Amino acid sequence: MGLYAFDPAYQYAQQLDKEDELASFRDEFYVKEDTIYLDGNSLGLLSKRAETSLLNILDSWKQYGIDGWTKGKYPWFYLSERLGDLIAPFIGADAGEVFVSGSTTVNLHQLVATFYEPKGTKTKILADELTFPTDIYALQSQLKLKGYDPDEYLIQVKSRDGRTLNEEDIISAMTEDIALIVLPSVLYRSGQILDMKRLAEEAHQRGILIGFDLCHSIGSIPHYVNEWDVDFAFWCNYKYLNGGPGSVAGLYVNKKHFHRTPGLTGWFSSHKDKQFDMEHHLTPAEDAGAYQMGTPHILSLAPLIGSLEIFKEAGLERLRQKSLKMTQYMMDLISHELKDMGFTIANPIEDDKRTGHIYLEHQEAARICKALKENNVIPDFRAPNGIRLAPVPLYNTFQEIWNTVQILKKIMIEGQYKKFENNRDVVA
């Protein structure tokens, strides 16, 4: 990558940290000094600004009571849309096309209920066999609600190697009977980035609508959903965006679809000026806000206010370049230090195909993850044999990467993992 030249010495890791122009952002986060946290692709760490913004919203409840809906620095009534406008530049969307509300799965149900319109022979939904399970469950549910058997009408593109998807296979599956496509932007296990622009072009040439799950890419890589003509997208905000556990999710609808009536409507689907008229005829918002349903969870929205300030200052392009450097450095160290120890680097190695985490496979993966935790390194296990390690550019360091690989080497040489059972905990 650029001028990057690998050196396995610890002093080189120290030098990389000294040269890091984003290093100061680590001080923004609550980082345990005796722990190396490499699970930011599952749950990002708490920042001091996110804590402050949560306390500010709590204070507005204390000070204003119900008037907090329209008073204070961040009136609650408009907060979902306001945060949506702040997130929009991170995915290449325009103001009004994004809102923050619901959960990943709720928002997917909303979008499929809206955009899946089976007609004639176009009745099937196309997905893939490697996507996160919640997406498949939601698609199966929506098919059943329309009276279709998911075993027949949900088509899942197969993987050739069990880790990645071949985009030619996806395109080949865009047959005349496909009505809707829902794919991940990034595969949650291997971290493979799909070419969303190419896939959207191919889908539209065939008259098929297409949307993407951005859960494992938002805040990690730049997106240009308008330029790519993506129809819709949805995501969580608690991974790279550090919105907190159970943070309210996000949804994008391309403005060319604003004329559609959302498939699932509720009180907060209303145009803001009409909502309190209490009419039984819905006047929907004229932008993506129409895709809201119920009252937004204000206290779960609040941490994003502070978190997004940090992202705006750091810049997503700079974060992406540091992330690529960190993951390349980790791969180089693993290849250098862990030879003949049974590890396989199973994520794509190309910069344009690799997202923000390293994916290792090992037959003893569950035991190794437990041993890492015992050594104060926090990884992420993915059944059946995957170890995800995410050096997050906002708060991880190159020295932590070097130390992690050395700890992993020691675990393997000393057989520390053997005292653990090779199965996952309840939460993995």
Backbone angles phi, psi at 211, to 5 degrees: -135, 160
SS3 assignment, position 98: strand
Residue 27, annotated as binding a ligand: no
Residue 402, annotated as binding a ligand: no
Length of the chain: 428
Q: What is the CA radius of gyration of the chain?
A: 22
Residue 105, annotated as binding a ligand: yes
For residue 21, count CB atoms less than 10 angstroms from its CB and return exposed for 0-12, middle for 13-18, buried for 19 or more.
exposed
**Neighbouring C-alpha atoms within 13 Å toward the C-beta of 101:** 25
Chain mean position to CA 394: 16
For residue 393, count CB atoms less than 10 angstroms from its CB and return exposed for 0-12, middle for 13-18, buried for 19 or more.
buried
10 Å Cβ neighbour count for 247?
Answer: 25
Residue 131, annotated as binding a ligand: no
Residue 216, annotated as binding a ligand: yes
Which helix or strand (DSSP H or E) is residue 387 part of?
A: strand 386-389
Hey, what amino acid is at 306?
Answer: G
| Spatial distance between the Cα atoms of 40 and 220, rounded to a whole number of angstroms | 10
* Angle, CA of 157, 162 and 168, to the nearest 5°: 40
Hey, what amino acid is at 156?
Answer: Q
Are the CB atoms for 269 and 253 separated by under 8 Å?
Answer: no
Residue 398, annotated as binding a ligand: no
Which sign, positive or negative, has the C-alpha torsion 286, 282, 212, 328?
positive
Which sign, positive or negative, has the C-alpha torsion 173, 228, 194, 149?
negative
CA-based nearest residue to 300, from 249, 239, 359, 264? 249
Residue 267, annotated as binding a ligand: yes
10 Å Cβ neighbour count for 262?
Answer: 22
Give CA separation, 127 vs 157, 165, 300, in Å: 6, 11, 30
For residue 129, the 8-state DSSP code is: T
Token couple for 395 = 């708060």
Token couple for 224 = 């240009």
Residue 133, annotated as binding a ligand: yes
**What are residue 52's DSSP bridge partners?**
none
For residue 419, the 8-state DSSP code is: G
Token couple for 267 = 């009180």
- Give the annotated binding-site residues for pyridoxal 5'-phosphate: 104-105, 132-135, 213, 216, 238, 267, 295
Q: Which residues are annotated as a binding site?
A: 104-105, 132-135, 213, 216, 238, 267, 295
